[in-house]
Amino acid sequence: MRKFLFSVLVFVFFLGIIQTAKADLTRDCFNYIQAQDYQRALQSGLEAVRIYPNSVGANFCVGVSYVRLGQYNQAIKYLKTAEKYATSKSDLGAIYNWEGAVYENLGDYNNALLYANRALSLDIELGDKDGESANLNNIANIYQYLGDLDKALEYYKKALAISDEKFKSTIYNNIAVIYSSKNEYDQAIDYLKKAIAIDQRFGNYDELAKDFLNLGDTYRAIKNYSEAEYYLKQGLLMEEKIGNKDWQGAAYLYFGKLYRDKGNKALAREYFTKAYNIFKSVGDEPDAQAAYQDLQELQ
Give the range with max mean pLDDT: 80-89, 119-128, 151-160, 222-231.
Answer: 222-231
Q: Is the confidence at residue 299, as pLDDT, over 80?
A: no
CATH topology of domain 88-163: 1.25.40
Nearest to 280 by CA among 103, 141, 72: 72
Q: Is the confidence at residue 23, as pLDDT, over 80?
A: no
Model confidence pLDDT, tens digit, residues 213-258: 999 999 999 999 999 999 999 999 999 999 999 999 999 999 999 9
pLDDT mean over 71-97: 93
- Identify the three-state secondary structure at position 298: coil
What pLDDT score does 9 carry? 66
Whether this prediction's pTM lies above 0.85 is answered by no
- Identify the three-state secondary structure at position 51: helix
What's the N-to-C CA distance of the chain in angstroms? 18
pLDDT mean over 118-123: 94
Q: What is the DSSP string of 76-127?
A: HHHHHHHHHH--SHHHHHHHHHHHHHHHHHTT-HHHHHHHHHHHHHHHHHHT
Give percent of the chain above pLDDT 70. 92
Nearest to 124 by CA among 134, 111, 114, 113: 134
Q: Is 1.25.40.10 the CATH classification of the domain at 12-87?
A: yes
Kindly report the average pLDDT of the chain as a whole number.
90
What pLDDT score does 107 carry? 87
Give percent of the chain above pLDDT 90. 72
Whole-angstrom Cα distance, residue 187 to residue 215? 12
Q: Is the confidence at residue 269, as pLDDT, over 60?
A: yes
Whether the Cβ atoms of residue 69 and residue 244 lie closer than 8 Å to each other: yes
C-beta neighbour count of 183 within 10 angstroms = 10
Whole-angstrom Cα distance, residue 170 to residue 67? 16
Domain with CATH 1.25.40.10 in the chain: 12-87, 88-163
Confidence of residue 15 (pLDDT cuts 50, 70, 90): very low
Higher pLDDT among residues 22 and 42, named by residue: 42
What pLDDT score does 90 carry? 87
What pLDDT score does 14 carry? 47
